[in-house]
Structure 1
Amino acid sequence: MSRLSVYHVSALDLPNKVLGHLEDIAATLAEVGVHFARRQPTQAVAPSAGVDELLAAYRPAIDALLGERGASGFELDSLTREHPQRDELRDELLAERQGDRDEVRLVLAGRGQFALHIEDHVYAVLCERNDLLVIPAGTRYWLDLGERPHFVAVRLLDAAGAGQLQLTGDDIASRLPRLDD
């Protein structure tokens, strides 16, 4: 189940607010310019489905997003517990960054927690299958996939590609509870 936990940067050990209903999550994130919604596959997807099956089931939703966002294509981000470099990749994703373009992600399988550092708050959004998250350009964020990652998501690309991401150098991600905590 998707969840939003909101923390003040001065107290990252205890959330001010925890929400679990789609409408509440979407409304709270919309207040800070972040879009959250759900997109359903056109056919049932087994938990053991491979990448090709996932892409086939979500293709209409992906095509609709491409049109809505004026995107030129997409890439697939995937990290599973079997990946030989999962620990190194997880560490890289836990570094706070910001991009020069909107970051549009549709989660096809698994889960990941996007932590959005906006002004004096961190919005930790646990995204699961069917969740669509649009992080505005310039927003500081990081992604926690947990100790045993299972995450498959589509990331939209514009005509120039995925955009440039810059690490901020802030260690705030190390102070927020991890996905598995």
Structure 2
Amino acid sequence: MTLLTVWSTTDPSTPEIQTRDAETIRGILAGVGARFSRWELKELSENPTQDEVLAAYADEIAAVNAAQGYSLVDVVSIVPEDSDAYRQASETARQKFLSEHRHDDDEDRFFARGSGVFYLNVDGKVHAVFCEEGDLLSVPANTTHWFDMGTTPSYVSVRFFHDDDGWVGNFTGSDVATHFATYDELAQVSA
């Protein structure tokens, strides 16, 4: 189940808010300009292709594109495997997204499978949204944030973009992300 944890940026050890209530999560995130909703899950194969995911969620994707004006949609699929190549690639990807950054575009993600944590650093607060399958989160353009997929990433995510450049991060150089609970620590709370 989705988990929202909010800390002061000056006290990463004591959450001010921790909730699993979807309406509370939606309201708190709306207060920082983020959109949160849930989609009904569709049946997917064990290792779904991009085309399969896009076809399964075609109506939902079309509605988001119409409402937000997105022109590019793709799918990121990370499936755990017992190989050195997987471990190296997933750790490289994890480290990239763990660094605080912002985008000139909104960052909309739908989790068709698996989970990940988005951390939004807004107005002296860090909002950690532990997204699970069925969750759609939109991080507003120019919001400083980072993403943690955990030490053993496993997810299928639909990404939305306004232009063909796709994911472009503007890194802040801050080490703020190193001070807050990781995906693996929050996964224990979510269990």
TM surpasses 0.5: yes
Alpha-carbon separation, structure 2, partners of 1:98 and 1:26: 21
Which amino acid letter does the alignment assign opposite residue 68 of structure 1?
A
**Structure-1 residue corresponding to 2:69:** 70
User: 2:47–2:79: 8 Å Cα contact kept in structure 1?
Assistant: no
**Structure-2 residue corresponding to 1:12:** 12
User: 1:102–1:134: 8 Å Cα contact kept in structure 2?
Assistant: yes
Q: Deviations over 1:140-159 (max 9, x none)?
A: 01110111111211111214
Say which structure is richer in helix: 2
Alpha-carbon separation, structure 2, partners of 1:77 and 1:96: 20
Alpha-carbon separation, structure 2, partners of 1:164 and 1:112: 19
2:57 partner SS = helix
Which amino acid letter does the alignment assign opposite residue 73 of structure 2?
F
Change (3 A) 1:80 1:44: closer
Q: How do 1:89-108 and structure 2 match up within 5 A? A: 89-108=93-112
Aligned residue among 50, 59, 62 for 2:48 = 50
Which amino acid letter does the alignment assign opposite residue 39 of structure 1?
W
User: 2:72–2:164: 8 Å Cα contact kept in structure 1?
Assistant: no
Alpha-carbon separation, structure 2, partners of 1:126 and 1:6: 11
Alpha-carbon separation, structure 1, partners of 2:54 and 2:164: 23
Alpha-carbon separation, structure 2, partners of 1:59 and 1:12: 39
Between 1:83-92 and 1:136-145, the stretch displaced more is 83-92
TM-score (norm 1): 0.91
**Structure-1 residue corresponding to 2:90:** 86
User: 1:114–1:126: 8 Å Cα contact kept in structure 2?
Assistant: yes
Between 1:78-87 and 1:114-123, the stretch displaced more is 78-87
Which amino acid letter does the alignment assign opposite residue 62 of structure 2?
D
Q: How do 1:108-119 and structure 2 match up within 5 A? A: 108-119=112-123
Alpha-carbon separation, structure 2, partners of 1:49 and 1:3: 26
Change (3 A) 1:67 1:89: same
Say which structure is richer in strand: 1
TM-score (norm 2): 0.87
User: 1:80–1:148: 8 Å Cα contact kept in structure 2?
Assistant: no
**Percent pairwise identity:** 32
User: What is the RMSD computed on CA atoms of the aligned residues?
Assistant: 1.7
Alpha-carbon separation, structure 2, partners of 1:166 and 1:36: 23
Between 1:27-36 and 1:159-168, the stretch displaced more is 159-168
Alpha-carbon separation, structure 2, partners of 1:97 and 1:123: 15
**Structure-2 residue corresponding to 1:61:** 60
Deviation at 1:49, TM superposition (A): 5.0
User: 2:106–2:161: 8 Å Cα contact kept in structure 1?
Assistant: no
User: 2:53–2:75: 8 Å Cα contact kept in structure 1?
Assistant: no
Which amino acid letter does the alignment assign opposite residue 63 of structure 2?
A
Deviation at 1:115, TM superposition (A): 0.4
**Structure-1 residue corresponding to 2:132:** 128
Change (3 A) 1:4 1:180: same
Which amino acid letter does the alignment assign opposite residue 19 of structure 2?
L
User: 2:109–2:136: 8 Å Cα contact kept in structure 1?
Assistant: yes
2:37 is the alignment partner of 1:37: yes
